[in-house]
Amino acid sequence: MRPRRSRSTGGSSPDADSTSRLLLALLGFALVVFASTICLLAAGLAAHIDDEELNAGVEGRLQGGAAGGGVVQQQQEAQYLEQELPIAAAAIERAHATNNDNDGGAVGNNNGGGDIGGIIRGADAAKKTAAAVSDKPLDTMAAAAQNAIFPTVVSDVAHLNPSVPYLPPHAPVPNADGLIETTLSGSNPTMAGIHAILQRFLLDLHESNRNFATDAKTENDREGLRDRVIQAYFDLANKHLIPFDKAYRGKNIFPVREDGSIFMSLASFRDHLLGATLKEAFRKAEHPERLFIGAVVQNCFGDEYVCKTGAQVVGKDKNGRPQTKVSDAPPDKNGVEEFCTDPSFKKYCEAGQIRALYVNETESLGPAAARYYASKLWGGETYYLQADAHLRFAPNFDTRYIDEVKAAKAYPKAVLSSYPPGFSESDPDYVGGTTGARLCTCEFSHSDVEDHIIRINTGGHCTNDQVDGPTQIAFIAAGFFFARAEFLKDVPFDPYLPWCFMGEEIALSSRAWTSGWDIYAPRQNLIAHQYRPGRMGLPKFWGSVGRLFGRPGPGFNTRLQKKIIKRVKNLVGYPEVSTEEVEKDGDELVLTDLEFYGMGSERTRQAYVEFTNIDFSSKSCKNMQWCNKCTMA
């Protein structure tokens, strides 16, 4: 069991001891009642569970934890349990009802996710018994609701209170309903309320995926299944995410603090380097106390099914082509836990500088979706840095990036972006300082899988002594950009790009530029990125999507992406994907609310096309002299 952090570190007075004993007695009584209730509910789902053993197990875990903290901690935990454990009971009742509807079949399948520690997570209905399925949600619920670790330093920033637990995965937010209501009012948002909104969305997405995964076992109409999956996602986004976005359109959710703080958005998919990346960032920052992380941790937690590797190269066929194999794997390393339990770094977690949203890999929808979630974990910091979760940093990267963006002529509406240089895990300590790559070229992909989307690329490494400061480039890389946080107001992340691996960069670039933001190449590299070719055999999100819907491999995700990518093509100006053509194909759903996630009003789309020398008629990107010669400040 993970240790709890106490908000009280001092000794107890006699009055406090008396209060403590009373609270323990009341808590113990409440726990006995709750545990008995859970046993009764669970018995209907799985007759094989021993009621007394379950009662003793839950009661023992709860009382054991309560005995380890002070009065303040016990009061907090009592309130937490009072709020969250009834939700667990309700979840089990829903599972019980589902079980009856299925004529006694086991609840769940091979996908997890959602909030409250995966209360409703089941095991594979075809492979696990009702008893096993019943026990897993109870055990996971107890771990999440019991062992939730909160920051111990109370922030003086009002909207960062109440705090959000950063461990264990899927720990629910206390008083979620009330916090969601006030956050959706548009006048009193809190980070906890936002976190609760995202958790509710993921829980409903889990339920939806579970139903589709069951149907997919006998579904032969792949196009029909694809369309129903897309419709269900849009329905859930409209239910949970759009009311939140609508409440804050045209403004930052929180006031921007002028304290030099940096928010780092990290979208992590089953990434074994997330923990090392976090440690490196805080170790190398000149002001680690001003660094805040929004980590979207998309992992296989191993709770209800066996995790899998990526497609690993195991040899060659007779024609010399690589042969690949997907194998069983242990649960993924939790980089946030690795960081927050390290004595050298746990103080940053206790100070509330790590905001983690946990997503089961079966609810992972690609980088664009993960970056949307991460953008919602921003808490008012001055600057916004988006990157991947496998990085190394140069010393004082934080203050050096601030100095560089301030040196841009267009500051404060300046964005720094580049493709960072690569590194291998065996490389020596990264010091940075090499000339930054310039994003000055693009091409229309020739791959049917990528559906001929525009891909950006690097140009030359020019410098211009006549320009005092960084010079402009044409594109933003999704893997690294740095700007003031007002960027989030002008270019809000789009929730309607699930399953898309390509297209986010040309969409982000054109939207930012037409919103009046100029894009600059940093003159020096201050971060390095681990580039990951397929031969490394690491998991990819499209593999998880394929397994979830009973179609192993990337094919089903490609079908989903092929339809969603029309949104990006329509946005940037592909003539064959005009609004009229999309509606003629019956795909108008993918253009939902595009006016709110589309081009800005400071400059026109046609001006950006001319600025970047993109030719849609010939599907080619022409040379941009101004970009490759560093002539524009």
Pick from 163, 513, 599, 194: which is nearest to 375 by CA?
194
**Mean model confidence pLDDT for the chain:** 81
pLDDT tens-digit map of 364-384 = 999 999 999 999 999 999 999
Residue with the two structure tokens 């004595």: 343
- Cβ–Cβ under 8 Å, residues 116 and 202: no
Residue 440 has pLDDT above 50, yes or no: yes
Q: Which two tokens stand for residue 440?
A: 């000055």
Q: Which residues pair with 323 in a beta bridge?
A: 315
Per-residue pLDDT at 140: 52
Mean per-residue pLDDT, 329-348? 97
One-letter identity of residue 283: R
Residue 362 backbone phi and psi in degrees, to 5: -75, -15
Report cis status (omega within 30 of 0) of the bond before 168: yes
Element (H, E) at 356: strand 354-360
Per-residue pLDDT at 136: 43
Residue with the two structure tokens 């789309």: 605
Residues whose CB falls within 8 Å of the CB of residue 550, separated by 6 or more in sequence, listed in order: 213, 216, 217, 219
Pick from 294, 308, 392: which is nearest to 110 by CA?
308
* 3-state SS class at 55: helix
Percent of the chain residues past pLDDT 90, beyond the cut:
64
Residues whose CB falls within 8 Å of the CB of residue 127, separated by 6 or more in sequence, listed in order: none
Per-residue pLDDT at 186: 93
Mean per-residue pLDDT, 157-179? 93
Return the HEC string of 86-116: HHHHHHHHHHHHHHHHCCCCCCCCCCCCCCC
One-letter identity of residue 135: D
pLDDT category at 215 given cuts 50, 70, 90 is confident
- Higher-confidence residue of 168 and 145: namely 168
Integer Cα distance of 577 and 589 in angstroms: 14
- Cβ–Cβ under 8 Å, residues 350 and 153: yes
Q: Which two tokens stand for residue 217?
A: 């076992």
Residue 47 has pLDDT above 60, yes or no: no
Residue with the two structure tokens 């080619």: 620
pLDDT category at 332 given cuts 50, 70, 90 is very high
* 3-state SS class at 517: coil
Element (H, E) at 278: helix 274-284
Per-residue pLDDT at 159: 93
Furthest-apart CA atoms within the chain: distance in Å: 83
CA torsion, ordered 624, 625, 628, 630, to nearest 10 deg: -120
Mean per-residue pLDDT, 36-49? 40
Residue 4 has pLDDT above 60, yes or no: no
Per-residue pLDDT at 147: 76
Domain regions of the chain by residue span: 409-537+557-628
Residue 303 has pLDDT above 90, yes or no: no
pLDDT category at 73 given cuts 50, 70, 90 is very low
Element (H, E) at 294: strand 291-299
Element (H, E) at 211: helix 191-216
Pick from 16, 120, 151: which is nearest to 71 by CA?
16
Per-residue pLDDT at 143: 56
Residue 623 backbone phi and psi in degrees, to 5: -65, 140
Residue 620 backbone phi and psi in degrees, to 5: -145, 155
Distance from the first to the final alpha carbon of the chain: 56
Strands (E), 427-541: 441-444, 454-457, 480-484, 518-520, 527-529
Per-residue pLDDT at 78: 41
Mean per-residue pLDDT, 318-347? 94
Strands (E), 361-485: 383-388, 391-393, 414-417, 441-444, 454-457, 480-484
Mean per-residue pLDDT, 437-450? 90
Sheet containing 354-360: which strands, arranged edge to edge? 354-360, 291-299, 262-269, 383-388, 480-484, 414-417, 518-520
Per-residue pLDDT at 466: 82
- Cβ–Cβ under 8 Å, residues 520 and 408: yes
- Higher-confidence residue of 81 and 302: namely 302
Residues whose CB falls within 8 Å of the CB of residue 270, separated by 6 or more in sequence, listed in order: 298, 299, 300, 332, 361, 538, 539
